[in-house]
Amino acid sequence: MSVVVVGSMAFDDIETPFGKSDKIVGGAATYIAYAASNFVQPVQLVSIVGYDFPTDEMETLKQRGAVLEGIEMVPDKKSFFWSGRYHMDMNTRDTLITDLNVLGDFNPVLPESYRDAEFVMLGNLAPAVQKQVIQQMNKRPKLIVLDTMNFWMEVALEGLLEVISMVDVLMVNDSEARQLTGEYSIVKAAKKILTMGPKYLVVKKGEHGALLFHGNNVFFAPALPLEEVFDPTGAGDTFAGGFIGHLAKTKDISFENMKTAIIFGSAMASFCVEKFGVQRVKEVTKTEIEGRLQEFVQLVNFDIALG
Amino acid sequence: MSVVVVGSMAFDDIETPFGKSDKIVGGAATYIAYAASNFVQPVQLVSIVGYDFPTDEMETLKQRGAVLEGIEMVPDKKSFFWSGRYHMDMNTRDTLITDLNVLGDFNPVLPESYRDAEFVMLGNLAPAVQKQVIQQMNKRPKLIVLDTMNFWMEVALEGLLEVISMVDVLMVNDSEARQLTGEYSIVKAAKKILTMGPKYLVVKKGEHGALLFHGNNVFFAPALPLEEVFDPTGAGDTFAGGFIGHLAKTKDISFENMKTAIIFGSAMASFCVEKFGVQRVKEVTKTEIEGRLQEFVQLVNFDIALG
């Protein structure tokens, strides 16, 4: 089984109240691929990079089961660059610099070997690009998951609504769910979004966990309470990688299994924030993942006698 | 078995983005008593009211198993009055008016029949008053739970730290836990607080649920995702009432049973916010409570195969 992952591969420069990263490798597809590769291989990447993207990062990704055939390399341009500064609460940040570079010309062409994949993870990108990927698949995948952000609601709402109507799972954070629907109540916002196309909605709430909505069902997964949050960059992408990775591995897209996938995603995200960039997600071991899943079980497990 | 509940009995005037309450009955002890009475009776109240506190409210409380012997009535003064306005997010509010009235002279004297209670719930009040209550008990109760707020950290920190050192469970919200310890990380704040006396710490996060810390253990209970939050006033007190009510009923103060108590507290709080004031907490039925507990089980229940 395989999973197609679409998204940026980039450089980030991150400042938090606790430190500064300098220019390091980032990008949605990078985080998603590292996280997903713990569960499923190959991870078929679709992205675009400039001449400056490090070859040793590509090599590491390959060793982790990523297929790079769908990554376009533009020899005379730089990779996408983002720089941001987190506030004290680590939940909000200011963007300092966004250099689109190669990302401005991204017109993905899917290799033939990707086009029968059953699982597709559309990382945060322009909705038009996300749509192009869906249209190049030979048949409707078993599951398409879409991640997006407030920026596209402001500059490309029509295109975003179109691609939302084409997917099975939408992933947004709580303020984005509100912005997309004009509803303050997350429950009401979820009901509206579930009429826009997706059968499932994941609402990410950062340190406050994540909600999964499906029909009239709702599931809540907490975030692990961490002593130190070092860098939240990529936590949402890492969450998405764990989520799609577990689903692609098990090939089970029931509500019950989506709940489990959310827990796997939350576990992966809890590693991501412990170090700058992809560092921690790259080095995490199967034993560490199992340990953290056990912590999740402990965290929410309670006995209640009803009747 | 019985539980002693100390706190204000008051009038509130509440404004939310969705409506205005006019002057209605409120106060920590009122909310706690109504919530706790679903689990344990009698609820031995300690409070102070003025000539204006409605006798029919007293009558209703009595019918719900409250003992009013410890409520002082001051014939020539008014009851405590609070007026506030909630912001759009319903998590933050501005206080418009605080008229202490009778509360300024509160020197509680516990009736002899209260002094052997095994469970004591100290609702939000001046730390000196909370301490007076503890000192009047004939023997150390099995469990003392303390609720407080940021105001006392600012005007009576020394007294607050003293009473904190005398109790078993401290209940605060997340920003209060941060303020009390100077730690931004809730996990670090919890570790500090657990060196100040209490063996248990409950951190209330409003719509984001609640955390229970004990030694190196942590438990998380979500808040029920609600379509409408009508009035958050008293939700924390109602939570406390469900929490102490379940513990006093079962007389089991283990960590496992505290987890269950947190779920009962969260269920009660989810009713509280559905209407203005104590209205919803007063009318709730056992069947409704059981239904909501079932929703909590569904909300967090997941299967994971480890190993």
Q: Domain residues of chain A, as ranges? A: 3-300
Inspect the interface and report whether the beta carbons of B293 and A306 lie closer than 8 Å: yes
Which of chain B's residues have a Cβ under 8 Å away from the Cβ of A222?
Answer: 209, 220, 222
What whole-number percentage of chain B has pLDDT above 70? 99
Confidence of residue A304 (pLDDT cuts 50, 70, 90): confident
Hey, what are B296's tokens? 């909590």
Q: What is the arithmetic mean of pLDDT over B129-137? A: 98
| Residue A57 buriedness (CB in 10 A; 0-12 / 13-18 / 19+) | middle
A155's enclosing H/E stretch is helix A150-155
Inspect the interface and report whether the beta carbons of B218 and A227 lie closer than 8 Å: no
A157's enclosing H/E stretch is helix A157-164
- Which of B67, B64, B56, B86 lies closest to B2, judged by CA? B67
Contacts with A23 (C-beta within 8 Å, 6 or more apart), sequence order: A11, A12, A13, A81
Q: Express each pLDDT in A84-142 by its tens digit.
A: 999 887 878 899 999 999 999 899 999 999 999 999 999 999 999 999 999 999 999 99
Inspect the interface and report whether the beta carbons of A306 and B296 lie closer than 8 Å: no
**CB-side exposure of B138: number of CA atoms within 13 Å?**
8
Q: How far apart are CA A111 and CA A90, in angstroms?
A: 39
Inspect the interface and report whether the beta carbons of B263 and A302 lie closer than 8 Å: yes
Which of chain A's residues have a Cβ under 8 Å away from the Cβ of B300?
Answer: 219-221, 300
Res A82 pLDDT > 90: yes
Which residue from A228, A303, A307 is facing B260, i.e. has the nearest CB? A303
Which of chain A's residues have a Cβ under 8 Å away from the Cβ of B174?
Answer: none
Q: Express each pLDDT in B177-229 by its tens digit.
A: 999 999 999 999 999 999 999 999 999 999 999 999 999 999 999 999 999 88
Distance from A34 to chain B by nearest Cα, in Å? 21
Q: Express each pLDDT in A169-194 by its tens digit.
A: 999 999 999 999 999 999 999 999 99
Which of chain B's residues have a Cβ under 8 Å away from the Cβ of A220?
Answer: 209, 222, 225, 299-300
Q: Which residue is listed with tokens 């982790």?
A: A64
Hey, what are B2's tokens? 């019985």
Return the higher-pLDDT residue of A56 and B18. A56
CB A46 within 8 A of CB A4: yes
Inspect the interface and report whether the beta carbons of A225 and B187 lie closer than 8 Å: yes
Residue of A nearest to B259 (CA): A302
pLDDT for B143 equals: 98
Amino acid in the structure at residue B197 = G
Contacts with B291 (C-beta within 8 Å, 6 or more apart), sequence order: none
Inspect the interface and report whether the beta carbons of A299 and B260 lie closer than 8 Å: no
Range scoring the smallest mean pLDDT among A4-13, A17-26, B53-62 = A17-26
Q: Express each pLDDT in A264-293 by its tens digit.
A: 999 999 999 999 999 999 999 999 999 999
Q: Is the peptide bond before A42 cis (omega within 30 degrees of 0)?
A: yes
Kindly list the residues of chain B whose beta carbon comes within 8 Å of any beta carbon in chain A: 88-89, 184-188, 205, 208-209, 211, 217-222, 225-229, 256, 259-260, 262-263, 290, 293-294, 296-304, 306-307
- Which of A307, A88, A276, A251 lies closest to B293, judged by CA? A307
CB pairs under 8 A between A and B: 100
| A3-300 homologous superfamily | Ribokinase (3.40.1190.20)
What value does the mean pLDDT of chain A take?
Answer: 95
Distance from A229 to chain B by nearest Cα, in Å? 8
Q: Is the peptide bond before B42 cis (omega within 30 degrees of 0)?
A: yes
Confidence of residue B60 (pLDDT cuts 50, 70, 90): very high
Give the DSSP letter string of B114-159. GTT-SEEEE-SS-HHHHHHHHHTSSS--SEEEEE--HHHHHH-HHH
Which of chain A's residues have a Cβ under 8 Å away from the Cβ of B217?
Answer: 298
List C-alpha distances in Å: B249 to A176, B268, B285. Answer: 43, 15, 17
Which of chain B's residues have a Cβ under 8 Å away from the Cβ of A225?
Answer: 186-187, 211, 218, 220
Inspect the interface and report whether the beta carbons of A188 and B256 lie closer than 8 Å: no
Q: Predicted ipTM?
A: 0.90
List C-alpha distances in Å: B93 to A227, B86, B262, B291. Answer: 29, 4, 24, 31
- Which of B230, B202, B178 lies closest to A90, judged by CA? B178
CB atoms within 10 A of CB B248: 27
Q: What is the arithmetic mean of pLDDT over B259-270? A: 97
Residue of A192, A212, A220 to mutate, interface with B, max B Cβ within 10 Å: A220
Amino acid in the structure at residue A24 = I
Q: How far apart are CA B238 and CA B236, in angstroms?
A: 5
Identify each DSSP E strand in chain B by its residue range.
Answer: 3-6, 10-16, 19-26, 43-50, 66-74, 80-86, 93-99, 119-122, 143-147, 169-173, 200-204, 210-214, 217-221
Q: What is the arithmetic mean of pLDDT over B270-287? A: 95
Q: pTM of whole model > 0.90? A: yes
Q: How far apart are CA A213 and CA A187, in angstroms?
A: 9
* Main-chain phi, psi angles of A288, to 5 degrees: -65, -40
pLDDT for B306 equals: 60
pLDDT for B103 equals: 95
Res B1 pLDDT > 80: no
CB B231 within 8 A of CB B200: no
Hey, what are A79's tokens? 């990779």
Which of chain A's residues have a Cβ under 8 Å away from the Cβ of B290?
Answer: 306-307
What whole-number percentage of chain A has pLDDT above 90? 92
Res B117 pLDDT > 90: yes
Res A307 pLDDT > 80: no
First to last CA, chain A: 45
Res B230 pLDDT > 70: yes
Distance from A53 to chain B by nearest Cα, in Å? 35
pLDDT for B100 equals: 94
What whole-number percentage of chain A has pLDDT above 70? 99
Kindly list the residues of chain A whose beta carbon comes within 8 Å of any beta carbon in chain B: 88-89, 184-188, 205, 208-209, 211, 217-222, 225-229, 256, 259-260, 262-263, 290, 293-294, 296-304, 306-307
Hey, what are B110's tokens? 């516990």
